[in-house]
Structure 1
Amino acid sequence: MCDPVETRDINDLFDDIVLTEEKHARLGFEEGLKDGLEQGNEEGYKLGYAQGVELGNEIGTIYGQVLAQLQVPHTSKVQRTLEQLRALIDQFPRTNDPEADIIGAVEQIRSKNTLLRALLRSKAAGGVLESAGRKDYSF
């Protein structure tokens, strides 16, 4: 004998259709979110890497110039500024620490570098480097 055919209310059938649409919409959203995160992570990595290289080049250049300037005699104010700038660069985070204030550290380094450049220009304008017969390493 055959099982009696199950009869369902038409409202239940419509509910199933609506729920199926919602289920597929939810699954599509979840899949899109996953794909978007993967693509976003890749783009973020590439952008972060490029900016990191650029920033490393800038800080490395400043550090090299500071080391060169530390080899020649300067006024106590310039010498102190050189040491402060060197310390700021030495303290710059070299690991991926989410707690580190990278932007603040970069701003401090740039600010101190601007001050140092102004001090070195004023020193050179005063004839200190030229009169001593030394090469001007200012930047």
Structure 2
Amino acid sequence: MAFSPVSPELEPDINDIFDCIALSEENVVASAYSEGFAKGIEDGDIEGFHLGYHKGSEIGHELGLSLGTATAWITLLGGDHLSNNSKKVLNEKTVKILNRIVEEVEAFPSENCSSVNVSQERDKIIALHKRVCSLLKSKDNKTMKNLPSF
């Protein structure tokens, strides 16, 4: 069998050629839409990651400051290294608030959970921190005021 240059199998159908010409704009639009959609998802994920990372860092800083302050005061309360003259006598209310700050920070969710309102929990801890700083007449309360909030 000899090969002929014009074979019915290799020759495109004229209707397919016209369809290709007529639908070329739609094909380009569909292709560009798919490409743009994929790029948008990728860019949105990156932007969302950075936003979450920075907000998480701010929350971590606030919680760390509250936990550190509470832990330091609790440690100083039970510390034998201070002389009796320099020990501050703290009332029971202040000690309860300090312990509550530690409990609240330790109970703070470390992963995103839709059942917990993270902003409300954060605000509760900051309010406790400000309250204990006020009772202790501490300058840490001013430090919390300078923190960025969202």
TM-score norm. by structure 1 comes to: 0.68
Q: Which has the higher helix share?
A: 1
Structure 2 gaps, min length 5: 1-5, 78-88, 141-150
Counterparts of 2:23 and 2:108 in 1: how far apart (Å)?
55
- Maintained 8 Å contact 1:69/1:138: no
- In structure 2, the residue corresponding to 1:32 is in which secondary structure? helix
Letter in 1 for 2:34: E
Tell me the residue number matched to 1:101. 117
Whose RCO is larger (CA < 8 A, sep 6+)? Answer: 2
Could you tell me how far 1:138 is from its partner in structure 2?
6.2
- Contact 1:85–1:109 (8 Å) recurs in 2: yes
Q: Which moved more, 1:38-47 or 1:95-104?
A: 95-104
TM-score (norm 2): 0.64
Give the match for residue 127 of structure 2: 111
Alignment RMSD? 2.8
The answer to whether structure 1 residue 120 and structure 2 residue 136 are counterparts is yes
Match of 1:68 among 47, 72, 86: 72
Q: Number of residues paired by the alignment?
A: 119
CA distance in 2, matches of 1:57, 1:138: 17
Overall identity of the aligned pairs, in %: 26
The gaps in structure 1 that reach 5 residues or longer are: 122-136
Q: 1:68: Cα distance to partner?
A: 1.2
